[in-house]
Chains A and B, each alone.
Chain A
Amino acid sequence: MRIASRGRSHIIGGMILGLVSLAGWFIAIQSERLDVREASEAAFRAPSGEAQLIGVELLPEMDPMMCEWVPASASGPALFAQEQSGSAADAVERVEIEREPVRVIRDTYSTYSAIAVDLNSDEVYMQDENLFGVKIFNRLDNTPASAAFTEPKRVLGGLDTKLEFNCGLYIDPVSGDMYSVNNDTVDTMVVFPRGAEGNLDPMRELHTPHRTYGIAVDEAAQELYLAVQYPPEVVVYRKQAAGDEEPLRRLTGPSTQLEDAHGIALDTKNGWMFVSNHGSDSDYRQAGSGQFHPPSITVYPMKADGNAAPVRIIEGPKTRLNWPAAMAVDSERGELYVANDSDDSIVVFGVTDNGDVAPRRMIRGPSTGLRNPTGVFVDTKNHELWASNMGNHRATVYSLDADGNVPPLRTIRSAPADKPALAIGNPGAVAYDSKRDEILVPN
């Protein structure tokens, strides 16, 4: 009983001590904050047109011999010389420093934003948005689990290529020309011939709107479609357009319901155009017009122009859309494949789907190897579906019929399996969290 009572006393004593410590800490924090505020208020100077005392700082003790004595009768030049000397001493030293960083956070491996297959050469092209360039592999490459990674067959990259933040990819099914959309900085779509390698100039360049993301081509009409994030629009050019050529058509305006547009795909059999939207929206000409909308896929006639409304919208919780990115259409099967970035999935809709509809099929789950897929390609010749994953240095390929938590048929991996993909892209800012001793990096 006595032992129990003593234990209770210890507990109560501990609680009191804890409360006192907590109160002390709280007072200290409040005091510190008040100190800062008072310092702030004291330092603030309201303009008065007169000199004001803003602070007092005691001078350090000085050796009296440091100052040269100047008699009151000294001539003007002597006083001036001393003043000049004082000015020089006050001059601020300006220092240029070449210094190595003590630490670097970066991903040293390729991260793939987009993917396409050249069905004539049986090669897979993968957009490397981390190291900037295009890596080309054999279509049947399959990285063994024991291998560190698969070496690409060719690499295209370097300043001359203008490949940077490259996120849209198209391979001409006849010529094998490669079209790359570069989302930022260069605002230029670049075209290279089949087999291009190394750091070389593009064979053709087209200046594109800032933030162009997705690409699709109507080969029959020889027209090139580009989706632009913001201000959102679809611009349609001649396929062979170059330089500063103007688009043939622009789909843009509030009726279009384009909202942070990303991927674009064409159903040339039925004449429909599909655009995926993340949902952020505003009219840059009108302050305070910002809105958030659910993610969506808006559908238009391929020849839609101006401020045309969509004919159908796939949108709603059943769709599972979560930052939908690149898309591809299989016109024969009547299916639309969507790289569903933040759901780690590929979702498949019918090309006539409308409203809040569930996907027909969905590749999703830990066996799939999908992690932040942003690129997708339908290979109807080999009956395969490809995905590029921003979240794991990999391209994964599945049967076109795949559904559920299915493992890929093959995987092309460009980093050791245990290396995380950082997916840092265009880091325009950085913050330091002093509480957690962490660095925050936004894309």
Chain B
Amino acid sequence: MAHPQIAVFARLAKENSQPTRLIAGQKTLLSRTMHDIRYDAIHDEFMVTNPFAQAIMVYRGGAHGEEAPIRVIMGPNTQISGSAYAGVDRLDVDPIHDEILVPTGTSILVFPRTANGDVAPIRIIKGPETMLRGAQTLAVDPVNNVIVSSFGSSSRLDPGDPRAGGLTAGTGGLLIFNRTDNGNVKPQRVIYGDRTGIVRINQLQTYPPKSLLVAAMPGAGNEQEPEGVFVGVWSIHDDGNVAPKWKIHGPASLMKKPRGVTLNPKNKEVIVSDMRLNAVLTFYFPEMF
């Protein structure tokens, strides 16, 4: 991918619409590929990861051009890490309790939202009981007080475990923790198994008013157009081998490899970014709101 940037479009933009803003250039400290971006409406900020610099960067909500971040979380005390393949991948912000959450594969780090510089996490979910293996994405529900995290094929779930649905490595799932969990804690619930359809999960969102979680399921990473991709909606109370409550998928959806998902409750829209199409698709989806 040749050119890092954050392009900003009007919600009603369509094909070949001019971006309203572009954030790019050396001073921005951006790199590609940013696998997450979160907008904090209460504090009017957005934030992304820099996977190669093991950094979290926070920008003004109205940032444009070659604008530097207003805060950067980076340094040895942060314990931010990633794999050779993924770097530090994704994050989420809890604007109610003023926290930023970062998955590192085997842990979830929680920072004060206003952290800046080489700051230690205030909580860490980590250890064998957590089942955090290959955890590269998460979302927080600050109202129902849960954290939803992905886990990957290296999960310690044994194929014989009833929750594994008889599946072997190569499939992923979702772990649900209490929001304030800390240390080596068991997840409250595990969504895993053949009925889930999950190979891996990329961007995750929660919708607190209906206790829902929304996940982009892009299929196998090494395939250009994997089969079975979808955007799925589960309840945060789901547990075990359960299919999504709603699943947007199929040729009509145009989706080839959906990696990003976000919600616009006001207009009852689910917004999806698709890496194979280099496009953003907006679905009117009143059922879930």
Q: Which A residues lie at the B interface, using CB under 8 A?
A: 33, 36-37, 39-40, 43-45, 47, 92-109, 113-114, 129-131, 159, 162, 164-165, 167, 183-187, 210, 213, 229-231, 260, 278-282, 284, 286-292, 294-295, 321-323, 325, 341-342, 372, 374-375, 390-391, 419-420, 422-443
| Interchain CB contact (< 8 A) of A44 among B2, B29, B180, B282 | B180
Partner of B283, one of A45, A99, A286: A99
Contact between B235 and A92 (Cβ–Cβ < 8 Å)? yes
The residue on A at minimum CB distance from B225 is: A159
Q: How far is the CA of A105 from the CA of B11 in the complex (A)?
A: 9
CB-contact partner of B16 in A36, A108, A114, under 8 A: A108
B263 touches A422 (CB 8 A): no
Candidates B15, B144, B243, B250; contact of A106 at CB < 8 Å: B15
Do A443 and B274 touch (CB < 8 A)? Answer: no
A183 to B31, CA, bound (A): 14
Q: Which residue of B lies closest to A44 (CB)?
A: B145
A442–B275 CA distance with the chains assembled, in angstroms: 11
- The answer on a CB contact under 8 Å between B62 and A432 is no
Q: Is the interface of B mostly helix, strand, loop or mixed?
A: loop
Contacts of A432 in B (CB 8 A): 11, 39, 262-264, 271
How far is A133 from B243 in the complex, measured between Cα atoms in Å?
A: 37
B122: interface (CB < 8 Å):
no
Question: Mask for B6-24, Cβ within 8 A of A = 1, else 0?
Answer: 1111111111111111001
Closest to B5 in A: A443
The answer to whether residues A106 and B277 also contact, given A260-B31, A432-B271 and a CB cut-off of 8 A, is yes
CA distance in complex: A281, B55 (Å): 10
B contact residues around A98 at 8 Å (CB) = 248-253
Instruction: State whether the Cβ of B247 lies closer than 8 Å to any Cβ in chain A.
Output: yes
B142 at the interface (CB under 8 A from A): yes
- Is B249 a contact partner of A96 (Cβ separation < 8 A)? yes
CB of A433 within 8 A of CB of B61, answer yes
Tell me if A40 and B96 are in contact (CB < 8 A): yes
Asked if A130 and B26 make an inter-chain contact with CB atoms under 8 angstroms apart, the answer reads: no
Nearest CB in chain A: distance from B3 CB, A: 4
Cross-chain contact B142 with A429 (CB below 8 angstroms)? no
- From A40, A187, A289, A433, B39 is in contact (CB under 8 Å) with A433
Q: Is B37 an interface residue (CB 8 A)?
A: yes
CB-based contact A426/B1 at 8 Å = yes
Contacts A/B (CB < 8 Å), 10 sampled:
A99-B283, A104-B280, A106-B16, A113-B3, A129-B1, A288-B76, A288-B80, A423-B3, A424-B280, A432-B263
Among B83-91, B127-135, B151-159, B162-170, the stretch that binds chain A is: B83-91
- The proximity string for B residues 220-260 relative to A, scoring 1 for CB distances below 8 Å and 0 otherwise, is 01111100000000010000001111111111111000011
Task: Show the binding face of B for A, using Cβ within 8 Å.
Answer: 1-21, 24-26, 29-39, 41-42, 44, 46, 48, 50-55, 61-62, 66, 74-85, 87, 90, 96-97, 104, 118, 142-145, 178-180, 202-203, 221-225, 235, 242-254, 259-264, 266, 269, 271-285, 287
Collect the chain B residues with CB atoms within 8 Å of residue A167's CB. Answer: 1-2
Task: From known contacts A95-B247, A292-B29, infer whether A420 and B264 are also in contact, taking CB-CB under 8 Å.
Answer: no
Q: Nearest chain B CB to A8's CB is how many angstroms away? A: 36
Q: Which residues on the B side are within 8 Å of A372 (C-beta)?
A: 3, 24
Residues of B within 8 A of A159 (CB): 224-225
| A93 nearest CB neighbor, chain B only | B245
Complex contact A436–B61 (CB within 8 A): yes
Q: Are the CB atoms of B260 and A288 closer together than 8 Å?
A: no
Contacts of B285 on A, CB cut-off 8 Å? Answer: 97, 99
Highest count of chain A CB atoms <10 Å: which of B7, B74, B249, B259: B7
Indicate if the CB atoms of B26 and A279 lie closer than 8 Å.
Answer: yes
Partner of B24, one of A105, A210, A342, A375: A342
* Partner pick for B279 among A99, A104, A260, A374, CB 8 A cutoff: A104
Measured in the bound complex, the distance between the Cα atoms of B52 and A260 in whole Å is 7
A256 to B256, CA, bound (A): 39
* Residues of chain A contacted by B224 (CB below 8 angstroms): 159, 162, 164, 185-186
Contact B96 A105 (CB under 8 A): no
Closest chain B residue to A112 by CB distance? B2
Q: In the complex, A33→B245 CA distance in Å?
A: 30
Which one of A94, A280, A422 contacts B7 once the chains associate, using CB atoms below 8 Å?
A422
Could you tell me if A438 and B20 are in contact, using CB atoms closer than 8 angstroms? yes
Contact residues of A: prevailing secondary structure: loop
- Assess whether A105 is in contact with B253, with CB atoms less than 8 Å apart: no
Which 9 residue pairs spanning A and B have beta carbons closest together?
Answer: A290-B54, A106-B279, A287-B81, A98-B250, A113-B2, A427-B273, A442-B34, A430-B260, A288-B76
In the complex, what's the smallest C-beta–C-beta distance from B157 to chain A, in angstroms? 22
Given contacts A427-B259, A433-B61, A442-B48, contact A184 B33 (CB under 8 A): yes
CB-nearest residue of chain A relative to B274?
A427
The answer to whether B41 touches A434, judged by C-beta atoms less than 8 angstroms apart, is: yes
Q: A430-B280, A434-B39 are in contact. Are A92 and B245 (CB under 8 A)?
A: yes
Q: Which residues of B contact A284 (CB under 8 A)?
A: 81-84, 87
A187 to B178, CA, bound (A): 38
Smallest CB gap from B185: residue in A: A47
**A165 x B1 contact (CB < 8 A):** yes
Question: In chain A, what residue has the closest Cβ to B52?
Answer: A280
How far is A431 from B66 in the complex, measured between Cα atoms in Å? 19
**Inter-subunit contact B80/A424 (CB<8 Å):** no
Question: Given known contacts A33-B96, A291-B74, A439-B280, what 19 new A-B pairs fall within 8 Å (CB)?
Answer: A100-B252, A103-B13, A105-B282, A109-B16, A113-B2, A184-B33, A281-B52, A284-B83, A288-B54, A290-B54, A374-B2, A424-B7, A426-B1, A428-B36, A429-B259, A431-B39, A431-B262, A433-B41, A437-B10
Whether B3 pairs with A374 at a CB distance below 8 angstroms is: yes
Instruction: Given A105-B13, A290-B50, answer yes or no on A94-B260 (Cβ-Cβ < 8 Å).
Output: no
B243 to nearest A CB, angstroms? 5
What is the CA–CA distance of A281 and B25 in the complex, to the nearest angstrom? 16
Residues on B with C-beta less than 8 A from A322 are 25-26, 66
Assess whether A428 is in contact with B203, with CB atoms less than 8 Å apart: yes
Q: Which residue of B lies closest to A419 (CB)?
A: B16
The interface residues of chain B lying within 8 Å CB-to-CB of A108 are 15-16
